[in-house]
């Protein structure tokens, strides 16, 4: 199974109609559309990206699937936007998804980075309800990618030592493969 397939399978198990879900790195909108399909017409998705090109691509995909009216697009840095959302939506999200790195087919210099991602993860956890799921995929094949993956790993280990259930997946297919972490808020197992 590809990592994206694992992410979607786990989200499909945990998301219910009417839920709030957050895509912290909307990119081309694949994950945003998946979330929008799962939360249904009564649910809500908030999708964040730092570049207009990504939100335009996500918006087009949402229009094509008929899900645009249940998704709010936010242009900005995920750490800042998630921190702001904590003021009004702490403990309300069923899932937060991060697919780190750069926009496929876009400007590779605009990419997530360890320091902001670490801050964003803490706010994302604050946004989750008990039992909510945090999915983070990190890529190690580009400059800064290994450092960012190491920062995510350290953060996930600290959460596993505290009060959350964490598992990770690494495909055996390539040199420096991507890593997927799944965190469930609270101590109940997956």
Give contact residues for ligand SAM (rule: CB under 6 A).
Answer: 25, 27-31, 48-51, 54, 77-78, 99, 101-103, 110-112, 116
Report the nearest approach of ligand SAM to the CB of residue 9 (Å).
15
Provide the minimum distance between the beta carbon of 63 and ligand SAM in the complex, in angstroms, as a whole number.
15
Residue nearest to ligand SAM (CB): 27
Residue closer to ligand SAM, measured from CB, 16 or 60: 60
Q: Which is nearer to ligand SAM, 77 or 164 (CB)?
A: 77
Least Å distance between CB 162 and ligand SAM? 25
| Cβ proximity to ligand SAM, 141 vs 186, nearer residue | 141
SS (H, E, C) the chain: CCHHHHHHHHHHHHCCCCCEEEECCCCCCHHHHHHHHHHCCCCEEEEEECCHHHHHHHHHHHHHHCCHHHEEEEECCHHHHHHHHHHHHCCCEEEEEEECCECCCCCCCCECCHHHHHHHHHHHHHHEEEEEEEEEEECCCCCCHHHHHHHHHHHHHHHHHHCCEEEEECCCCCCCCCEEEEEECCCCCC
Measured from the CB atom, is 14 or 28 closer to ligand SAM?
28
Q: In whole angstroms, how close is the CB of 5 to ligand SAM at the nearest point?
A: 13
């Amino acid at each position: 199974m590809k990592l994206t397939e694992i992410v979607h399978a786990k989200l499909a198990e945990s998301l219910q109609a009417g839920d709030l879900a957050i895509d912290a790195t909307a990119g081309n909108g694949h994950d945003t559309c998946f979330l929008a399909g799962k939360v249904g017409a009564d649910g809500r998705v908030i999708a964040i990206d730092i570049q207009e090109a990504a939100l335009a691509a996500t918006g087009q995909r949402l229009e094509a699937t008929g899900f645009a009216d249940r998704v709010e697009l936010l242009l900005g840095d995920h750490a800042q936007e998630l921190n702001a959302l904590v003021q009004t939506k702490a403990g309300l999200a069923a899932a937060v998804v991060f697919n780190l790195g750069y926009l496929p087919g876009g400007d590779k210099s605009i990419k997530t980075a360890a320091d902001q991602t670490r801050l964003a993860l803490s706010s994302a956890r604050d946004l989750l309800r008990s039992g909510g799921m945090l999915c983070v995929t990190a890529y190690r094949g580009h400059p800064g990618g290994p450092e960012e993956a190491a920062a995510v790993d350290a953060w996930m280990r600290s959460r596993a030592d505290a009060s959350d259930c964490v598992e990770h997946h690494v495909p055996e297919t390539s040199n420096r493969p991507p890593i997927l972490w799944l965190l469930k808020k609270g101590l109940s197992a997956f």
